[in-house]
Amino acid sequence: MSEAVSQAPTAAGPRASARRLIAPLALAQFICSFAGSNMNVMISDITNDLDTTVKGVQTTITLFLVIMAVLMIPCSKLTDRWGRKRCFMLGLTLYGIGALLSAVSPGLGVLILGNSVFEGVGTALLIPPVYILATLWFEDMTSRAWAFGVISGLGGIGAAAGPLIGGVITSAISWRAAFVFQALIVATIVLLSRRLVDPLPADPERPFDAVGAVLSAVGLFFIVFGILQAGTNNLLFAALLTVGVVFLAAFFLYIRRRERAGKEPLLSTRLFRNRTCNLALVTQNVQWLLLLGSSFVISVYLQEVRGYSAVKTGVIFTAATAGILVSSLAAERLAKRYAQRTLIITGFVVTLAGILVLIFLVGAWDSLAAFVPGLLLIGLGLGGMLTPSVNVVQSSFPEQLQGEISGLSRSVSNLGSSLGTAIAGTILVSDLASGRHAYAIAMGTLAAIGLAGLVAALRLPRTIARA
């Protein structure tokens, strides 16, 4: 057992030591989630400064999220080959370069290169080690719930507080300064990570399934990119979705054939035979879809329809941030008292209530206060179920499969984030002139998807058994 593991709270080490281990991992999840939502409040400033459109900024945000999603699985496999800490540090380096490049971008193309590509690839490299290391360091369900609670909680706070922090920085200085802020956080994480020890040695001889990586990445990319075309070019929309489905089908057949031949595939088909894990992955996908989808829809509506500034838009999300903060900090205590399934179901019920409140209050009341109750409920609901969903997924498999399941889990979550921005955002952006009508349809779509997540949660077993 490594030095890092011996410091975990499951052993004799003090909780302070565990906090030092978790701090850089949690901050890394925070800044990556922050990057996925903070640009929402900069849309008007970026479109004016770079002479682009709302659709162009939406594409930049969605590409960042989808690049994370499509590369998360391949990068999780590289953690075994290159080592978890090395991938973590490499990812931070690429992310920092992307943030600085975005800060000085003269046009949309460079912004896409810095934010979508460099930050997206960097995130795909650094996030799988976060969850793998936490799983390896914390061995029992309660301490693991605490670790995932801190990490997922800061991730949720990053996504919810992104509009507020981004709005304050944009209004006080410039939207470019928000990317400098990200680079400074990354530098802080690098300093905090110097003493982290990888619990397992790297295996340079570990095979890497390059063909599987390409098939899965291309399939996921075409599906999300196709959704972005909905409402503007329906023929292209259908064509891209078809291509995406074909590539994903080819990916599944390929990994199954490779596994039967005794070779190591990109993903073990064993992962897809665990019913509990599959259902928990659905809940993860929907949770992040709801969080990023509602953030994008509300931000665009406030700026483009009501004409609010970046900071005024960001302040409105304080209610969601407070809700996530309260429920995530209670993750360890709740895990001791309630079943993971109960927490996930309750989270969906509260979140759906929040979305419905947002639809009705915003439609009937012009005041900013109309957004507070709904966003608070969404924050409380999502914060309460982010940790249990991650815990169920990661705890469903033994140590030797942690690299694969971590990559699949993060890929599914980030795919949810990109789908939320793509689906709900496209509905709103395609008919901004109708104002509240398009807003209500976009939020109603999110509610319908949330119901699907609730159904998946209801089908989870009451006790979680390891595969």
- Enter the tokens of residue 240: 């891209």
Distances (CA, A) of 138 to 145, 196, 213, 387: 9, 14, 29, 14
The whole-angstrom separation of Cα 336 and Cα 311 is: 39
The 10 Å CB-count burial string (b at 16+, else e) for 387-425 is bbbbbbbbbbbeeebbbbbbbbbbbbbbbbbbbbbbbbb
Compute the distance between CA of residue 431 and CA of residue 403 in angstroms, rounded to an integer: 42
The SS3 assignment for 369 reads: helix
Based on its alpha-carbon atoms, the radius of gyration of the chain, rounded to whole angstroms, reads 21
CA–CA dist 21, 4 (Å, integer): 7
Q: Are 450 and 355 in contact (CB under 8 A)?
A: yes
For residue 174, CA distances in Å to 80, 104, 178, 244 come to: 40, 11, 7, 38
Q: CB burial class (10 A; 0-12, 13-18, 19+) of residue 63?
A: buried
The answer to whether 53 and 432 have CB atoms below 8 angstroms apart is no
Cα distance between residue 379 and residue 381, in whole Å: 6
pLDDT in tens, the chain (467 residues): 344 443 444 433 444 566 777 889 999 989 988 887 788 788 888 998 999 988 888 788 878 877 887 888 888 888 888 998 999 999 999 999 999 999 999 999 999 999 999 999 999 899 888 888 887 787 766 677 678 778 877 877 787 778 888 888 988 899 999 999 999 999 999 999 988 888 888 888 888 888 988 998 899 888 877 877 766 677 888 888 899 999 999 999 999 999 888 888 887 887 788 888 889 899 998 998 898 888 888 888 888 788 888 788 888 888 888 888 888 777 767 877 888 899 999 999 999 999 999 999 987 787 778 889 999 999 999 988 888 888 888 777 776 676 677 767 777 877 787 777 777 767 766 666 566 788 888 899 999 999 999 999 999 987 754 44
Torsion angle in degrees (nearest 10) through CA of 165, 427, 98, 185: 20
Q: How much is the pTM?
A: 0.76
Token reading at 407: 């990559």
DSSP 8-state secondary structure symbol assigned to residue 462: S
Alpha-helical regions (H) of 229-274: 234-260
